[in-house]
Each structure stands twice: as C-alpha cells, then as structure tokens.
C-alpha cells in the first residue's frame, strides 16, 4: 500500500492498521518515530482542538513515547464523548459514559468531603496521578490518594499521605495549573486567631517511595481567600475591594481594586474566579465580570515579606479596564484554553487569531424573581480575541505612523471583544443542591450535578405531586455532562436541549444519605471525581488507559 493510499483512509481504519505494531516489526519501528507522532499530534489533536494534556511543557520537551501516549489519550477522550475520533468534539454522538467507576470510603469517621481536587504532576519525566480530598471534622485534613493503576480490575484505593494543622479549618484549596511547578497547591486556613495562606509541595518520600511528603514552601499571614495558582503566581481576594496578585517565590505583589457603588452596600463583591488570559487578567465576581490589564510585578519586597504594611502600601494598584454586570451567580468556571503559538517571525494576524482561542465561561445564574427562586440557569459565555488588538502584536517592519492602541473613535482597544457573548444556556430546577461546583474543560465539555427535588410534604403540603422528569425534577441525583457549541457566539444564544445534556452517572444513594458535595474534572485526562457528605468518593474515568 502506497503512502498516498494509506493517508486516504479514514482515521479509525488508519489507527486500526497502526495498532498492528505489536505484531509487525516495520510498523513497530514506524510507530516509535517521534516525527510520526509529532505530525499526528499537530494534525489530529491540536488543529482539531481536542483535549491535550500539556503539563506546562511544549511538544519539543516530550520524548517519542510520552508524545505517543498523550496523543492517543487525547483521541480516546474525544472518542468517549463523540463515539468516533473522526468527529469534531462538538458532535457528541451516541451516549457518552465513563468506562470505569468506583466508589470508596475516603474518611473512616464519616466526615463530609468539602473539597476534591485532582493533582496530576509531571516530575522528572514521570507522570503522577494524585487525588486530594479535604474532610472537615474537629479540624480539617487533606488526604492524598494514588490513582496509578486505576484501569486494573484489582485496583484498590490507597492513601499515600496526609496534611493537617491541629485545630485549623481549611477554607479553600486550589491546585497549581502548572503541573511541573514546585508548589502543587495553595491552602487558605484559619487556626485559632490566625488567618494565613500556605503554599505546599508534594513529593515522593525518599525513604518510602510508596508514600508522599507535604513540604511547606511559603507561608504568609492574610485574611484573603486563595482563588487561583498558576506557576509562581497566586491570586487571593478579601471579597470586598481587593485582589492580590503575588509571586510567592519572589515575595512581590500587585493589587487589583474593585468598587461597584451600585451593589457595594447590599451584596459583597465575592470573587469567584481569577484567570490569566492574553495580555489581561479576567476576574469573575458574584455579580460581574471584570477585565484588568496584565502587568509585571513591579518590585521585589525590600522587607522580604508579603506580610508587612510597607509591602502593601508600596505596590501598584490597578483598576478594571472594563466591567459587565451579570445575574447573581453562586458558582463560576473560567477557562483560558492553551495556545500553541506559531513562529511569530513568519506569522500573520490571521495565524495568531486562529491560535488564540476564546476564553470560556460557565456559570450558574440565579433568578432575581422571588416567585421563581427554584429556577436557575446554566450559562455559557465566550470572550473572543479582538482582531484589532492582535494586529498590534504581530511584528513587522517599522511604520512611518505607528498604530495606536486606540480605535478610530478614541476608545482603548482591549485584548478581547468585551463584554462576553452568551453562547448557550439551559434552565433547570435547583432542588436540593449541596454541590454547586461547575466543571468546564478547555475544549468545551462541561459537567454539573443535577440535584434531587426539594421535599414538599409534611407541614407544607399533603400528598405532594411527585417530581416529573419532564419539568427537570427528579427524586434522584445525577451527574450531567454536555459538549458546549463551538464557533463564534451569536447574538441569540443557543438553548441546550435536554437531549444534549447527558446523564453520565446516577448517585446510587437514592434516599439521600450520601448527597454529593464536591466535584472536580480534568478534561484532557478523562478524570471525574465526586465527594459526598458521608465521606465517600466516586471516581469516574472516561477512557481506558
């Protein structure tokens, strides 16, 4: 078979032929070529915007074996959602469902799981799959679970390490988006009368490789909650007027200020998300979404501490470039898809525009009508890059009259077309919701918990009408999943039909003893985790690896 005929085959048949590499030496040599997998990754994964686990490394930093593993994993994840690797991810065919599921007891004392976070690490050329759970009893405790070998039928949950502070209550836990950074997670906690944030690293114990050790890398006193962690940059908020963007390693920071006089007296400006996008910082609040300028942290603290009043007083403060109001929101997920920039010396503005994907938002908006308080809406927004701003980023020969950062009418040009455009929505009944978490992947797959309906019997009503699946109510709790629409957001948002929201998993505790309280999702690895109020954890994997 000639190369031309081989490439003319559809993807499913081509991969089936290449799978014979285990029995054919020529195919075996072919499939071990790094160039083959580099082309396959760029053509079949990156250009089609399929989920790809980057781990903070560029493709040229991966050897042939790891590049093959991640490329095949991306294709399997796409197939789990669409039924075929030939379809685009937004064409979800068949019925997506996990390939494996297991439920285990993550807390022998029965304390509820307040937070659950996957913590994949890329250390020394080896992939570590860890799961972190936070259980709250008399004081909080973080447990680390080893997920390696999950595909085996004999896999048994194994706790490999714990971290706690006596008498401390953990308020927030965030995992570093850079999987190769020393700081694996940031924790904000309260202990006695002390409020502080700790940066923690996780590593294998030198004396016992089957266990892990938590190392405290940095600690600073702060009333702020930790919001996000990306590399050495940590974002924290006091939920009133300030967000601190700090480099914990260099001990320096900048301040984002926020003040909305229309709601400041009645509703706290609770910060839900902080995301670092192209040439800007995006902050999601409970009632608004703001865009701040990107900046270099201006100085290194002369005192060497982030706790001193001098450090806070000397740092520069930034105001939002733009702000848009949204409905009251109790949970929000903001995703900045990874970019794989072309050679800027040869690229055009069209190339760069195609490389920069829109920022994705998923939020749960509550109705402001008191008579429909149980009707909420899952909203999907997109923030598209502004072509005029992108054109200024492409290098070229010097112009006699350089272009300004202002438009023709004198207004400043923002990195993105503001405000975000509504792309899709779905209305549903809030019911008895104990897990408000929303999970959104860079490629548009989204997860949320559909709760049981509220009980309306007893003193309130006799012989209440049983919940009806037609109106979105049910006596069961289940995990919903969907693939959000791709392409440019139109002025008229597309409703997500009930047929487009899939029931991925149903809580086996139909009577409600174990309601889900925490949700986490890693799109590129196919991991889904659910924590419950009885201390149990349900692990789902969309692919067999």
pLDDT over 80 at 345, yes or no:
no
What is the rounded radius of gyration, in angstroms, for the C-alpha atoms of the chain? 24
Among residues 359, 190, 231, 387, the alpha carbon closest in space to that of 283 is found at 359
3-state SS class at 370 = helix
**Which of 54-63, 101-110, 278-287, 419-428 has the highest average model confidence (pLDDT)?**
278-287
Of 296, 427, 280, 315, give the one whose Cα is nearest residue 366. Answer: 427
Residue written as token pair 């996008």: 277
pLDDT-based confidence at residue 347 (cuts at 50, 70, 90): very low
Least confident residue range of 55-64, 193-202, 285-294, 508-517: 55-64
**What does the H/E/C string look like for 238-271?**
CCCCEEEEEECCCCEEEEEECCCCCCCCCCCCCE
pLDDT per position as a tens digit, 130-175: 999 999 888 899 999 999 888 777 788 889 999 999 999 999 999 9
Q: State residue 438's pLDDT score.
A: 95
The mean predicted confidence, pLDDT, of the chain is 80
| For residue 379, pLDDT beyond 80 | yes
**The dihedral sign for the CA sequence 286, 292, 296, 300:** negative
CB contact burial 452-485 (16+ within 10 A = b; e otherwise): bbeeeeeeeeeeeeebeeeebbbebbbbbbbbbb
pTM recorded for the entire structure:
0.86
Mean pLDDT of the region 163-189: 94
Q: Is the peptide bond before 431 cis (omega within 30 degrees of 0)?
A: no
State the pLDDT at residue 49.
Answer: 82
Structure confidence at residue 92 (pLDDT): 55
How many angstroms separate the CA atoms of 197 and 190, rounded?
9
Of the listed ranges 29-43, 82-96, 204-218, the one predicted with least confidence: 82-96
Share of the chain above pLDDT 70, in %: 73
Whether residue 405 is predicted with pLDDT greater than 80 in this model: the reply is no
pLDDT at 50 (0 to 100): 86
pLDDT exceeds cutoff 70 at 94: no
Rounded Cα distance, 71 and 105, in Å: 33
**Higher pLDDT pick, 281 / 63:** 281
Say whether pLDDT at 123 is over 90: no
- The mean pLDDT value for 231-239 works out to 93
Residue located via tokens 């029965």: 110
pLDDT tier at 502, thresholds 50, 70, 90: confident
pLDDT of residue 454: 67
pLDDT at 91: 59
Task: Tell whether the model's pLDDT for residue 20 goes beyond 70.
Answer: no
């Amino acid at each position: 078979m000639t190369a031309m005929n081989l490439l003319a085959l559809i993807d499913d048949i081509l991969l089936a032929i290449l799978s014979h590499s285990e029995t054919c030496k020529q195919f075996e040599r072919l499939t071990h070529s790094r160039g083959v997998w580099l082309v396959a990754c760029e053509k079949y994964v990156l250009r089609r915007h399929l989920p790809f686990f980057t781990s903070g490394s560029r493709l040229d930093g991966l050897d042939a074996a790891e590049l093959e593993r991640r490329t095949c994993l991306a294709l399997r994840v796409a197939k789990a959602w669409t039924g075929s690797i030939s379809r685009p991810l937004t064409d979800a065919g068949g019925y997506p469902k996990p390939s494996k599921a297991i439920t285990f007891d993550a807390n022998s004392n029965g304390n509820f799981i307040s937070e659950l976070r996957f913590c994949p690490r890329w250390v020394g050329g080896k992939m570590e799959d860890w799961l972190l759970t936070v259980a709250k009893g008399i004081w909080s405790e973080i447990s680390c679970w080893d997920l390696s070998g999950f595909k085996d039928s004999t896999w048994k949950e194994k706790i490999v390490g714990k971290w706690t502070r006596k008498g401390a209550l953990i308020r927030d836990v965030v995992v570093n988006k850079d999987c190769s950074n020393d700081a694996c997670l940031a924790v904000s906690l309260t202990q006695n009368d002390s409020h502080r944030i700790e940066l923690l690293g996780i590593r294998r114990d030198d004396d016992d490789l089957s266990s892990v050790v938590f190392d405290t890398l940095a600690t600073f006193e702060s009333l702020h909650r930790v919001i996000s962690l990306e590399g050495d940059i940590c974002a924290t908020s006091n939920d009133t007027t300030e967000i601190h963007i700090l480099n914990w390693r260099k001990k320096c920071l900048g301040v984002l200020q926020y003040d909305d006089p229309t709601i400041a007296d009645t509703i706290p400006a609770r910060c839900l998300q902080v995301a670092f996008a192209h040439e800007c910082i995006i902050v999601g609040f409970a009632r608004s979404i703001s865009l701040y300028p990107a900046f270099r942290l201006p100085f290194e603290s002369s005192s060497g501490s982030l706790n001193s009043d001098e450090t806070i007083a000397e740092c520069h403060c930034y105001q939002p470039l733009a702000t848009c109001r949204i409905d009251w929101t109790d949970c929000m997920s903001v995703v900045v898809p990874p970019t794989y920039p072309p050679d800027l010396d040869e690229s055009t503005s069209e190339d760069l525009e195609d490389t920069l994907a829109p920022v994705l938002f998923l939020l749960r908006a509550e109705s402001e009508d008191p008579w429909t308080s149980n009707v909420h809406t899952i909203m999907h927004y997109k923030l598209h890059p502004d072509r005029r701003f992108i054109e200024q980023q492409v290098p070229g020969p010097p112009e006699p009259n350089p272009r300004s950062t202002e438009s023709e009418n004198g207004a400043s040009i923002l990195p993105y077309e503001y405000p975000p455009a509504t792309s899709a929505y779905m209305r549903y009944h809030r019911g008895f919701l104990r897990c408000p978490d929303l999970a959104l992947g860079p490629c548009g797959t989204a997860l949320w918990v559909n709760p049981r309906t509220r009980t309306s019997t007893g003193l309130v009503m006799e012989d209440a009408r049983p919940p009806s699946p037609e109106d979105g109510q049910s006596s069961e709790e289940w995990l919903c999943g969907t693939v959000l629409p791709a392409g440019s957001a139109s002025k008229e948002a597309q409703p997500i039909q009930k047929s487009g929201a899939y029931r991925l998993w149903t809580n086996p505790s139909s009577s409600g003893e174990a309601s889900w309280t925490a949700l986490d999702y890693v799109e590129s690895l196919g991991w889904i985790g659910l924590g419950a109020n009885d201390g149990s954890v349900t692990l789902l994997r969309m692919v067999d690896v």
